Amino acid sequence: MKTWIWILFALLIVSLTVSGQEIGVDSTYRTKPKITPFLVPSYSPEVKLMIVAGGMLTFQTGTDLDTKRSSLPFNVGWSTNNSKEIDFRPVIFGRKNNTRFFGRLSLKDMPDHYFGAGYDNGRNRELSDTTTAYQRFWYQADVNFVRRIYGNMFGGLRLDFNRTEATDLSLGMEQDPLIIQQGTDIKNSGVGIILQYDSRDFEVNANSGLLLNFTGTFYGNPINSDFKYRMYVLDYRQFKTIFRPGRILAWEVKVYNGSGDIPWSDLARIGTAFDLRGYRNGQYRDKTAGFGILEYRHTFRKMRAADKKLTPHRLVLWAGTGSLGGRIDKWNNWLPNFGIGYRFEVQPKINARIDFGFGVESTGFYINFNEAF
């Protein structure tokens, strides 16, 4: 079964890439698609050293000057601890940016570690093959569609389908109360609503504007979900150009608030490649979680040129913190985070991203496309 799922995901990504190339050849579109391939190493606490192959395909869905270029970043990775993953995160703009489609198709098969719910388990539970280890097979199809309501206001729907299958459990994981109660093969299906105010100049690499996004997703038996619960997410991001073009101050505050019978596999997490970079993904999880990040993005200029145009090179520095608990009022412990990154503009306004993050007794090295937020 796993082999067929791997083949299906690979064929889906290839077919979407090919169809995107065909769109660009059509004379009704103003610009042809552009694809940037890559083959690079990366490192993170959960998968160790990984070789990642993939690319970024961009294209335009309309001939008008206002329509933004859509992006289809995709990658396939294989690591030294035998982790395998496929990840595909499309961002597609309809004509004149009145509609947007974005989401995620992901698949992972990897040795992993489960520390339990809550800050204390994540911080104090020993990482070892006898207490936290297991084999995780996971996939997700997260599909989001929004349409402009008026001005910068958008509304839409979210569909989320995911499954986690845990095998080869360590003794410590077998004795965890949530594992005993909820089991090791979990399927979730959810339908959600999206409301957002978005004035960013370019969503995947903003220089100005803000995003205020609310998503409420409802999981339950009527839509073939093993558990009935709700997850509400509030996301605030803002971007300011300071002193001169190419110097960006960006910040994000994000809060997850879950209620109901949330399975251990879908508890809110902090410490991923898109928030507190440097922590092990999944080490810190609970019903509620939140974080804040302040990031400075400095694009270098051609100092010897008379016009001092911007180069494709950017330095990034960030600092942040986050917390979690069974309820928001239980956020008593905060995780510090800081790091440094490098960006290279591989296509107009599209960056390759390299980040090195630091947490509490943890580090992470990440390579991806587009900014973390």
Identify the pLDDT of residue 15. Answer: 46
Q: Which long-range contacts link 300-308 to residues 24+ away (Cβ below 8 Å)?
A: 300/246, 301/246
CA within 13 Å, CB half, 197: 6
170: CATH: 2.40.160.50
Determine the length of the chain: 373
Q: From 289, 283, 281, select the one nearest 327 (Cα to Cα).
A: 289
Instruction: Determine the Cα–Cα distance for residues 357 and 24; give it in Å rounded to an integer.
Output: 37
Of the listed ranges 83-97, 150-164, 218-232, 253-267, the one predicted with least confidence: 218-232
Is residue 174 within 8 A of residue 131, CB to CB? The reply is no
Considering the chain, what percentage of its residues have pLDDT values greater than 70?
89
d(CA 167, CA 120): 24
Give the per-residue pLDDT at 21: 41
Q: Are 143 and 189 in contact (CB under 8 A)?
A: no
CB 30 within 8 A of CB 61: no
Confidence of residue 28 (pLDDT cuts 50, 70, 90): very low
Distance between alpha carbon 104 and the CA centroid of its chain, in Å?
8
Closest C-alpha to 76, from 21, 39, 112, 35: 39
Residue linked to tokens 């251990």 = 264
Number of domains composing the chain: 1
120 secondary structure, DSSP code: H
Q: What's the pLDDT tens digit per position in 59-103?
A: 888 776 678 889 898 889 999 999 999 999 999 999 888 999 999
The tokens describing 291, both together, are 């974080």
Enter the tokens of residue 350.
């599209």
Find out whether 231 and 210 touch, Cβ atoms under 8 Å: no
Q: What is the CB neighbour count within 10 angstroms for residue 132? A: 21
pTM (two decimals)? 0.86
DSSP-derived secondary structure for 17-68: HHHHHHHHHSTTSSS--EEEEEEEEEEETTTEEEEEEEEEEEE-S-SSTTPP
Of the pLDDT bands very low, low, confident and very high (cuts 50, 70, 90), residue 31 is low
361 or 224: whose pLDDT is higher?
Answer: 361
Which domain range does residue 195 map to? 2-369
Residue 14's pLDDT is 47
Q: pLDDT digits over 275-327, tens only?
A: 999 999 999 999 999 999 999 999 998 877 666 789 999 999 999 999 999 99
Per-residue model confidence (pLDDT) at position 203: 84
pLDDT tens per residue, range 203-237: 888 999 999 999 999 998 766 788 999 999 999 99
N- to C-terminal Cα distance for the chain?
35
pLDDT at 7: 53
